[in-house]
Chains A and B, each alone.
Chain A
Amino acid sequence: MSRQPEDRGSELRALFFESAAELLQSLNEAGLELEAHPADEDVIRRVRRAVHTLKGDSAACGFHKLSELAHELEDVLTPQIAHARGAELAELVLAAADSFGAMLTAYQRRVDPPSVAALHALIQRLLEAPPTAGVSAGEPSPGHLPARFEWTEYEQLMISEAVHRGESVYNIALRIDPNSLMRAAAFQLIRNVLHGSGTVIALRPEDNAAAASVEIVEAALASSQPEQKLAQRCKIPSIVSDVRIERAATAETPEHELLGDLLEAQAAQVGAAASEQGENPGQPATAGATSAATTVAESTLRVDATRIDAVMNLVGELIIGKSMLNRTLTEFDQKHARDPLRAKLADAMAFQARILDELHKCVLKIRMVPVEQLFRRFPRVVRDVAKQCGKDVALEVSGQNTDLDKSILDALAEPLMHLVRNSVDHGIEPADERLTVGKPARGTIYLNAYHQGTQVVIEVRDDGRGIDLVALRARAVEKGILKPEEAQRLSESETLNLIFESGLSTAAEVTEVSGRGIGMDVVRTVLDRLKGTVHVSQQKGKGSSFQLRAPLTLASIQTLLFRVGGRLFAVPLSSVVEITRISDQEIHRIDQREVLRLREQILTLVRLNHLSRLHSIDTQPAKKKTFVIVIGAAEKRFGLLVDSLVGEEELVIKALPAEIISSDLVSGASILGDGTVVLILNVPAVLSRLARSTPLGAIA
């Protein structure tokens, strides 16, 4: 905790919050397990134990509301109820974990805990309803949708005003179809529908960006349409899987009678906001909890991402400023080589540079989030897809604490989701097939993340059947992507890369079983956009592995500067494998390509001015010795012939509008300290240009 413990009481509290966070985590996990095995008495017992501990601990700390809720919950956690209403019970356990989390946060902030009426009602329903009566399948039962409808004071005011005007106000909760891969778009559509059905008074989440991580949309809607019609409108096919509509409670109803309740609602929102905030370094109270959803945070701030971006931009400008100063200093050095001021300036410069470096790292760190935030969705995904395919698949996750930029993390969500689904669907064989080849019936998918240099690597690996290269080639030929004779010549890794061809995968590759049917080309598209790479490898019968590599952050990169035809270019240092000098005689021609034999390996050579058709650039007269920068991305390599090397520099990338850069060969630009514009080479684009044969005619 950030505060000094005042007495033994606060020490106890700290201990309590710490252990409560762990209990919540185990509740969440148990809830998921319960969903998988509804009647598993072992899990029920575990949940019961966790709840029981929570009950005792919270009572000891004087958190009576929490303790009472835990007590109530305990009553429902019986094997009988689990047998009869397993699915509902699992839902309840998950909802309870959320409520406990919100309450804990509230206690920690020393405000009143939020109302848990909804959860009470759920518990009562489970207790009262005869255990044999199953819920009718067609009717969406409200209990399945844990919605809080915790509106701000202002929104509540709006609701009661609307009711006073004689309008009907409904609280609506919609579950975004868990299979929906385009959550932001789904949310936008929900918004459209809500706005088309009446006046939206309140909406959670509030914007599309937040919708990506949200399962349930809550809204307060004033509408003249009958409830049934609204329900019909809200049941948007392929977007919404579950709907709950109820009349909104106004200030007159006992539920929200007191100001205290309003405050509670607000506290719960603040609490929810805080617990969404994720990791919170330097907090002993939260050190044990890695799952952001259940993190009980003591001093987390929720800040608009645009503000952080603004700071980031300013730091970027400062770095440019630093390099300006550096250049001036170098000039000064040359002019006044004996001036004693030089040393002082250099000292000041070094000091400033160090601080700036720290500052830059700090700002970058703000945007960094552990990959756990993404990974924790997958146990659920794997289970769902495996269920759909009738397979038994386990997920093993490692490297959850690897940090990377939030925006990159968000961008990786979609391709990763696709790869994982694909692995379950196509990689893992059905149990009987696995048994006949001597594998355990249960397949395993491994998710791993780690840092490598300035990149983050995320791996999706499975122990399934691998990828059928022959079938892949055949399909490429069938789809007209390749000619039969070309297909025969492809190496294994080239064949594997066919997976990412858009025409190939979207049609038949993906869909049959899981029905997801998005193309693997999405994976490559996203990675290209991030200036990352995707690499696939496989072992027949033993499984396949996908490696996604992305930069840690989009903001600034270490680059190597070089000149071609008088123009300054940069290439990310992370993609430079080596630099070598060759003489013209060493350049050979094969198949109309210029190649270099470098330590027994044949390297394709690229002349930038040919590739980009920069005709305005005059090629320098042939020199005897030329620099070759060997550039590698994934497994591919090529050599870049350059006129001269300038040096290494940390560049702050400026996004350039499409109108300015007409070529995809350049991924961005940056400004050096002296004002020179540098174009940053887009390595994946150059590689893909190389892979296509026609434009290469220009190189020959």
Chain B
Amino acid sequence: MKQFAALLRKDNRPVRYLVVDDSVFARKNLIKMIEQFGGEVAGEAGDGLTAIAEFNRVKPDIVLMDITMPQMEGIEAVERIVRQHSDARIVMVSSVGYQENILAALQKGAKHFVQKPVKPEVLYEILRYVLSDDPNAAGAPVALAGEHRS
């Protein structure tokens, strides 16, 4: 298994994630990667509505959001979360067939997207990128512990 340098917050604490997917398997898969990246799973949700509630509760640094879900789709969840928290960092997770939905999600304020099945090294780079997006911060906001992918 590849080694990843821990992705940390500016204050050197683990990045906190909210993982939203209606498939338990998909969530576990993502969580495994998050742990590989030195992150902390702050919450999980299986649908858009729960995702919004969880977001408000745990205030994660990053949301990994599936596109198609029961009750409330990912796009609507993105829209609602971003409306309340304009600085929310949401990364859409979806298979290629849903390009239009991803487009919509990006227009609603999602920061990035990653294709299913998610490859750890791709997700890692995307997270690193999304985490470094801090218009107010000077310098690199992401602390990297050790050598990347040693």
Looking at B9-17, B43-51, B107-115, the stretch in contact with chain A turns out to be B107-115
In the docked arrangement, what's the CA distance between A506 and B97, Å?
12
In the docked arrangement, what's the CA distance between A237 and B106, Å?
15
In the docked arrangement, what's the CA distance between A69 and B79, Å?
52
In the docked arrangement, what's the CA distance between A506 and B106, Å?
23
B95 at the interface (CB under 8 A from A): yes
B85 at the interface (CB under 8 A from A): no
In the docked arrangement, what's the CA distance between A185 and B97, Å?
11
| New contact pairs (14) apart from A238-B115, A511-B117, A517-B119, CB-CB < 8 Å | A185-B99, A185-B106, A188-B102, A188-B107, A189-B106, A196-B135, A236-B112, A237-B122, A238-B125, A414-B96, A511-B119, A517-B117, A518-B96, A521-B95
Chain A 168-203, CB-CB to B under 8 Å as 1, else 0, gives 000000000000011011001100100010000000
A-side contacts of B128, CB under 8 Å:
237
A-side contacts of B129, CB under 8 Å:
235-237
Q: Are B103 and A185 in contact (CB under 8 A)?
A: yes
B133 at the interface (CB under 8 A from A): yes
A-side contacts of B125, CB under 8 Å:
237-238
Q: Are B95 and A232 in contact (CB under 8 A)?
A: no
**What is the total number of residues of chain A having a CB less than 8 Å from a CB of chain B?**
30
Q: Are B116 and A521 in contact (CB under 8 A)?
A: no
A-side contacts of B36, CB under 8 Å:
none
Name B99's closest neighbour in chain A (CB-CB): A182
Q: Are A526 and B116 in contact (CB under 8 A)?
A: no
In the docked arrangement, what's the CA distance between A515 and B112, Å?
19
A519 and B95 in contact, given A181-B115, A182-B115 (Cβ under 8 angstroms): yes
In the docked arrangement, what's the CA distance between A184 and B99, Å?
7
B-side contacts of A182, CB under 8 Å:
96, 99, 102, 113, 115
Q: Are A506 and B116 in contact (CB under 8 A)?
A: yes
B-side contacts of A233, CB under 8 Å:
133
B-side contacts of A208, CB under 8 Å:
103
Q: Are B113 and A185 in contact (CB under 8 A)?
A: yes
Chain A 208-243, CB-CB to B under 8 Å as 1, else 0, gives 100000000000000000000000110111110000
| CB proximity of A117 to chain B, nearest CB, Å | 33
A-side contacts of B117, CB under 8 Å:
506-507, 511, 517
Q: Which of B1-15 contact A (CB under 8 A)?
A: none
Q: Are A518 and B115 in contact (CB under 8 A)?
A: yes
B-side contacts of A414, CB under 8 Å:
96-97, 99
Q: Which of A14-31 contact B (CB under 8 A)?
A: none
Q: Are A515 and B97 in contact (CB under 8 A)?
A: no
Count A/B pairs, Cβ under 8 Å.
75
Q: Are A232 and B132 in contact (CB under 8 A)?
A: yes
A522 at the interface (CB under 8 A from B): yes
A525 at the interface (CB under 8 A from B): yes
B-side contacts of A235, CB under 8 Å:
129
In the docked arrangement, what's the CA distance between A106 and B128, Å?
45
A238 and B122 in contact, given A182-B115, A189-B113, A517-B115 (Cβ under 8 angstroms): yes
A-side contacts of B135, CB under 8 Å:
196
In the docked arrangement, what's the CA distance between A504 and B95, Å?
14
Would you give 30 A-B contacts (Cβ < 8 Å), ordered by A?
Answer: A182-B99, A182-B102, A182-B113, A184-B99, A185-B103, A185-B106, A185-B113, A188-B103, A188-B106, A189-B113, A192-B106, A208-B103, A232-B132, A236-B129, A238-B122, A238-B125, A238-B126, A239-B112, A414-B99, A506-B116, A506-B117, A507-B117, A511-B117, A511-B119, A517-B115, A518-B95, A519-B97, A519-B116, A522-B95, A525-B97
Q: Are A517 and B113 in contact (CB under 8 A)?
A: no
Q: Are B99 and A506 in contact (CB under 8 A)?
A: no
In the docked arrangement, what's the CA distance between A301 and B129, Å?
42
B-side contacts of A181, CB under 8 Å:
96, 115
Chain B 70-113, CB-CB to A under 8 Å as 1, else 0, gives 00000000000000000000000001110110110011000111
In the docked arrangement, what's the CA distance between A519 and B133, Å?
31
Name B117's closest neighbour in chain A (CB-CB): A517
Q: Are A521 and B97 in contact (CB under 8 A)?
A: yes
In the docked arrangement, what's the CA distance between A189 and B114, Å?
12
- Report which residue of A184, A185, A506 has the largest number of chain B beta carbons within 10 angstroms of its beta carbon: A185
Chain A 510-532, CB-CB to B under 8 Å as 1, else 0, gives 01000101110110011000000
B-side contacts of A507, CB under 8 Å:
117
Name A212's closest neighbour in chain B (CB-CB): B99
Chain B 119-140, CB-CB to A under 8 Å as 1, else 0, gives 1001001101100110100000
A-side contacts of B115, CB under 8 Å:
181-182, 238, 517-518
In the docked arrangement, what's the CA distance between A239 and B129, Å?
11
B-side contacts of A506, CB under 8 Å:
95, 116-117
A-side contacts of B132, CB under 8 Å:
232
Q: Are A185 and B95 in contact (CB under 8 A)?
A: no
A-side contacts of B116, CB under 8 Å:
506, 517-519
| CB proximity of A447 to chain B, nearest CB, Å | 20
| CB proximity of B107 to chain A, nearest CB, Å | 7
B-side contacts of A185, CB under 8 Å:
99, 102-103, 106, 113
